[in-house]
Amino acid sequence: MALEFNIFGTIGGKDGQNKDTLQTALTNAGGQEIILNVSSSGGDVFEGLAMQALIKNYSGSTISRGIGIVASAATIVLLAAKKVQMSKNSFFMLHNSWGYVTGNAAEMQNTIELLKKVDEDMLSIYVEKVKKNNKLVNGSEDETYIIIKKMMEDETWLTSEEALNFGLIDMITEEKENENKIYENTFAQVRAEANFKNIPKQILSNMQAEKKSFLKLLASWLGLNAEITEEVKSELSEAVEAIEAAQEVTENVEEPAKESEPIEAVTEAPEVSAKAAELSDLEQKLEEKRKQLEAMEAEIQAKISYKTETSETVKPINGFTNEQISQASRFINSLINKN
């Protein structure tokens, strides 16, 4: 029976696996077949490269299985196994490595050169896998190299089906019953890190659903009606868009030419008068929505306000401390005030 080892969270991070924990697992496996479940938004690329080498050099059979999101440094860990799988509806993301550095020009230049070398290492791993699966573009390793290089530069997200067709993985498996939670955790990690620029709409929609669900849950704990707040935000947004459209139309209408005749003789263009009236009506509606929103914010503040405890023990509210309630308040207000 194959052993399983989960590589979740941040590669090399406190919440994830690293080369040391992987080395221990492989040593304990003693040559038995091992299944590596990978679900990660990436992490330390040097840890990823070290883990990749450990897996490739393992004496036994290795199967890797991508779940939910396999991105950045996690992809090279996934591709290290002899058989590479991804669950249905998962995503494979490749991009150029990046990092932070402080120092003088020479030190920064050294970091630039190092990142270029890392990108070349990752690129060679991708090309090697595609070549192994006989999926080279037009049978050319050079063309494949150029295309994947561009994909990395653009930060490319592939569905499991696209990754299979491109030759980066070997097969797609059905999602298991217990894997839904793994999907959610990885999506939440991507949301929290907010490092990527081309996140697929499917993941973004899941994030918005999670955000709304979380908002409703928090509001419920605080005795608020989250549905009304969301509705007002939607109407307010529509009112703002309508006003901007009306303003644009009004600004594009040419003013009547000035003549030497008395001002009373100049008749205002009917379309200008109509747009001005429409703009005034929309501005009034917008002001009403703003007042409603301000009233709701005041209600929220009133419901979560609390007196500072004088004792060392903080009294929980609905199972949550005052500080946690305060943080929830700031979170809800940030969502309400977000344009």
Residue with tokens 């620029």: 197
> What is residue 278's predicted lDDT score, i.e. its pLDDT?
73
Mean pLDDT across 312-335: 56
Residues 298 and 191 in one domain: no
Residues 136 and 188 in one domain: yes
Residue 229 placed within a domain: yes
For 236-254, the pLDDT digits (tens) are 555 556 655 655 555 555 5
Residue 210 placed within a domain: no
Mean pLDDT across 206-230: 53
CA distances from 315 to 169, 303, 309, 318, 322 (A): 53, 16, 8, 10, 7
SS3 for 259? coil
Residues 146 and 241 in one domain: no
Residues 155 and 234 in one domain: no
Mean pLDDT across 176-186: 71
Of 181-190, 198-207, 211-220, least confident by mean pLDDT is 211-220
- Residues 42 and 9 sit within 8 Å (Cβ to Cβ): no
**Does 171 score more than 50 pLDDT?**
yes
Q: Other C-beta atoms within 10 Å of 96: how many?
A: 17
Confidence of residue 261 (pLDDT cuts 50, 70, 90): very low
Residue 262 placed within a domain: no
> What is residue 265's predicted lDDT score, i.e. its pLDDT?
45
Residues 176 and 295 in one domain: no
Q: Give phi and psi for 67, each to the nearest 5.
A: -130, 125
Residues 275 and 191 in one domain: no
Residue 49 placed within a domain: yes
Residues 131 and 227 in one domain: no
Residue 263 placed within a domain: no
> What is residue 308's predicted lDDT score, i.e. its pLDDT?
38
For the question of whether the overall pTM of this predicted structure is more than 0.75, the answer is no
d(CA 156, CA 36): 23
Residues 182 and 228 in one domain: no
Residue 127 placed within a domain: yes
Residues 240 and 300 in one domain: yes
Residue 21 placed within a domain: yes
> What is residue 315's predicted lDDT score, i.e. its pLDDT?
47
Residues 181 and 304 in one domain: no
Residue 59 placed within a domain: yes
Using a pLDDT cut of 90, give the percent of the chain over it.
44
Residues 246 and 170 in one domain: no
Domain count, the chain: 2
Q: In CATH, what number is assigned to the domain containing residue 88? A: 3.90.226.10
> What is residue 283's predicted lDDT score, i.e. its pLDDT?
75
Final residue belonging to a domain, choices 161, 196, 231? 196
Of the candidates 69, 13, 71, the one whose C-alpha atom is nearest the C-alpha of residue 187 is 69
For 94-120, the pLDDT digits (tens) are 999 988 788 899 999 999 999 999 999
> What is residue 1's predicted lDDT score, i.e. its pLDDT?
79
Residues 140 and 225 in one domain: no
For 281-308, the pLDDT digits (tens) are 777 777 777 777 666 666 665 555 444 3
Mean pLDDT across 180-187: 67
SS3 for 8? strand
For 263-272, the pLDDT digits (tens) are 444 455 566 6
**Does 170 score more than 90 pLDDT?**
yes
d(CA 68, CA 318): 33
Q: What is the mean pLDDT of the chain?
A: 77
For 115-153, the pLDDT digits (tens) are 999 999 999 999 999 999 999 999 999 999 999 999 999
Domain extent for 241 = 219-251+271-337
> What is residue 31's predicted lDDT score, i.e. its pLDDT?
94
> What is residue 5's predicted lDDT score, i.e. its pLDDT?
95
CA distances from 325 to 5, 215, 250 (A): 37, 13, 46
Mean pLDDT across 160-184: 87
Phi-psi region of 174 (alpha: psi -120 to 50; beta: other; left: phi over 0): beta
Report how far apart the first and last C-alpha atoms of the chain are (Å, whole number). Answer: 54
